[in-house]
Amino acid sequence: MADTIMKSFFIYPNMRKEGAHVLLPKVCGQLRRDGVHLMLPLQMRSAPLGLDDVEYVETDAGVRLAELAVVLGGDGTMLRLARAAAQQELPLLGVNVGHIGFMTELEPDELGRMEKLFTGEYSIDSRMMLHAVVRRGGRAVYEDDALNDIVVAKGTAFRVVRVRIAADEEDVTGFSGDGVIVATPTGSTAYGLSAGGPVIEPSAENMAVIPICAHALAAKSFVFAPERRISIRAACEGGSEVFLSVDGGQGFAIRPDDVVEITRSALRSRLVRLKGDSFYKILQQKL
């Protein structure tokens, strides 16, 4: 049970999904109350939505001013907002109009449960994030935070990446393959699971390091304590590029002498729970 009754909402829909078009007026209707402030992204002002009682704001402003962000989309839409929301300690409530929607809380036919936001009958699930730094000649040239995973992978289909992994500067393993995934418990049910990695319950707060299509029978996944500093060096045969991607975002090209350092982030994502389903029940329903 939460103490805060929500009064200000930033609604963040993925309008590339047809389901979001249908759900948006319904979500606004569920949240509309005297004294409640509803905000939508500024770029939606010209859309023929017929919503006259909402304010259109830049996404940064919406994240800063709201008490809760309601995300209409799938896990990808949640991830796009996760870092900015975590910086403001803004809770996220996901409504699934994607495919699996593992991080989303509600299905389109469950919008009535949002009434609990006004009665305090909700909880907030605090999720570990990862922080990635690319060091080049000892200097940080790239930094970002991930809720799901950090992937180092080849950019060319017909090349192999040579990967070396260390923990706290102690060599752990090396292999050749398509790359490597470093996943949070939240991300362990995403790309990491597809690559054969372990499922980690969120409260464990470990980091999973998972080879992608390794060319070695002995290549295994590792689960590290959250205090570890994971270092990755990667180079592609023939000089082809290797890329770092955070939560599926745009790749950053890394060089053979670069070091990718991954640690637990100071940021945390806050996911609103209205149904009280356990992690294991969600796992069985979604996967």
Residue 192 assigned ligand-binding role: yes
Strand-pair category, 92-96 with 242-246: unpaired
Residue 239 main-chain phi, psi, to 5 deg = 80, 10
Residue 109 assigned ligand-binding role: no
Residue 257 assigned ligand-binding role: no
Strand-pair category, 8-13 with 37-41: parallel
Rg, the chain, Cα only:
20
Q: Which of 3, 53, 75, 171 is catalytic?
A: 75
Query: Are the C-beta atoms of 50 and 29 separated by less than 8 Å?
Result: no
Question: What is d(CA 79, CA 51) in angstroms, rounded to the nearest whole number?
Answer: 26
End-to-end CA separation in angstroms for the chain: 28
Q: Is 75 a catalytic residue?
A: yes
Residue 32 assigned ligand-binding role: no
Residue 191 assigned ligand-binding role: yes
Residue 76 assigned ligand-binding role: yes
Residue 193 assigned ligand-binding role: yes
Query: Are the C-beta atoms of 147 and 92 separated by less than 8 Å?
Result: no
Query: Are the C-beta atoms of 92 and 270 separated by less than 8 Å?
Result: yes
At 83, the amino acid letter reads R
Q: Which residue has the tokens 């975590």?
A: 86
Residue 75 assigned ligand-binding role: yes
HSE-up of 84 (CA within 13 Å, CB side)? 18
Q: Is 50 strand, coil or helix?
A: coil
Residue 178 assigned ligand-binding role: yes
Residue 159 assigned ligand-binding role: yes
In the DSSP assignment, the letter for residue 106 is B
Residue 186 assigned ligand-binding role: no
Residue 243 main-chain phi, psi, to 5 deg = -125, 145
Which residues are annotated binding-site positions? Answer: 75-76, 80, 148-149, 159, 178, 189-194
The residues carrying an active-site annotation are: 75
Which residues are annotated binding-site positions for NAD(+)? Answer: 75-76, 80, 148-149, 159, 178, 189-194
